[in-house]
Structure 1
Amino acid sequence: MNIVFTVGDKKLSATLDDSAAAQDFLSRLPLTMTLKDYAGIERVAYFDRPLIIDGAPAGHKAKAGDITYYAPWGNLAIFGKSFGYASGLIKLGAFDDDFSVLFQTPEAEVVISAQ
């Protein structure tokens, strides 16, 4: 499942995992979201309703480039740096190439669409 994050004139490709949460995320596309800095490690944006997380593991140890869902807060979280294990963090997928443009400013509007 391939998706694209469009930031200005840049297109960032990513691949989603085969999971219930990733399928639910894909079904909501296209989405326009404002990603905001969180602790200098990740960019976050909130969904209007929770993702379906059936069968998801209890948590995930995030790596730079991971696209995740943090179930306790109901937000999308994109990691710019690796992070320790977090309970309730569900990996949705990962970027296929350079995604650093998302971390050049404290806030970035993105359009996320299926490819």
Structure 2
Amino acid sequence: MRGAATTDRRRLIIGAAALALLAGRSHAATHANKQEKTAMRIGMRFAGRDLTATLFDNPSARDFFSLLPLDLEVEDFGGNEKIAYLPRKLSVEGHGPFGNEQPYDLCYYMPWGNLAMFFAPYKHPGLVRLGRFETGMEALHLAGRYPLRIEAID
């Protein structure tokens, strides 16, 4: 009898620990890499084209916004995105997984410290979504390397 009670108690403790772990992960995922839009809007210009994007409410997006204005170079990468290297790595405090990846997301690739501007489907675990493009997205489809200007806009 005592052995069965000990086994039941162990199962209960293991089950409670697993539930606590899953609840913590769920809470972290909902608060990490937040996807709510903010008043932080940016304008990008390259190849004579203008793009606008609204940034999301997360530490990486706020850190990126604090760097503006920026003069960088944008180039093709991987057949589904354009990339631009930032002058320094961004904060990734609070980063976490996100779903619903879509073309025209503006992301930060943590391992290399670059912006990733997607114009086709993508999925990669090393990304933080910074925001979404709203206008001018067709410029992302232009092949080549161009000077890129990024500024905060009202």
TM-score of the superposed pair, with normalisation by structure 1: 0.89
Give the alignment partner of residue 105 of structure 1, picking from 138, 143, 151: 143
Structure 1 residue 108 displacement after superposition? 2.3
> Any unmatched runs of 5+ in structure 2?
1-39
Structure 1 residue 9 displacement after superposition? 3.9
Kept in 1, the 8 Å contact 2:47–2:146? The answer is no
Amino acid at match of 2:46: V
Kept in 2, the 8 Å contact 1:2–1:15? The answer is yes
CA RMSD of aligned residues (A): 1.6
Q: Which has the higher contact order (CA 8 A, sep 6+)?
A: 1
Kept in 2, the 8 Å contact 1:72–1:88? The answer is yes
Q: For residues 94 and 13 of structure 1, do their structure 2 counterparts lie closer, same or farther at Cα, with a shift above 3 Å needed?
A: same
The higher radius of gyration belongs to 2
Q: Deviations over 1:75-102 (max 9, x none)?
A: 1100010112x11200000111231113
Structure 1 residue 43 displacement after superposition? 0.5
Give the alignment partner of residue 78 of structure 1, picking from 93, 117, 121: 117
Kept in 2, the 8 Å contact 1:62–1:79? The answer is no
User: Matched residues in 2 for 1:18 and 1:53: separation?
Assistant: 13
- Calculate percent identity across the aligned residue pairs: 35
> Any unmatched runs of 5+ in structure 1?
none
Structure 1 residue 60 displacement after superposition? 5.6
Alignment of 1:57-76 (within 5 A): 57-58=96-97, 62-76=101-115
Give the alignment partner of residue 130 of structure 2, picking from 92, 106, 109: 92
Establish whether residue 5 from structure 1 lines up as the match of residue 44 from structure 2: yes
Establish whether residue 27 from structure 1 lines up as the match of residue 62 from structure 2: no
User: Matched residues in 1 for 2:125 and 2:64: separation?
Assistant: 20
TM-score of the superposed pair, with normalisation by structure 2: 0.68
Q: What is the aligned residue count?
A: 114
Larger relative strand fraction? 1
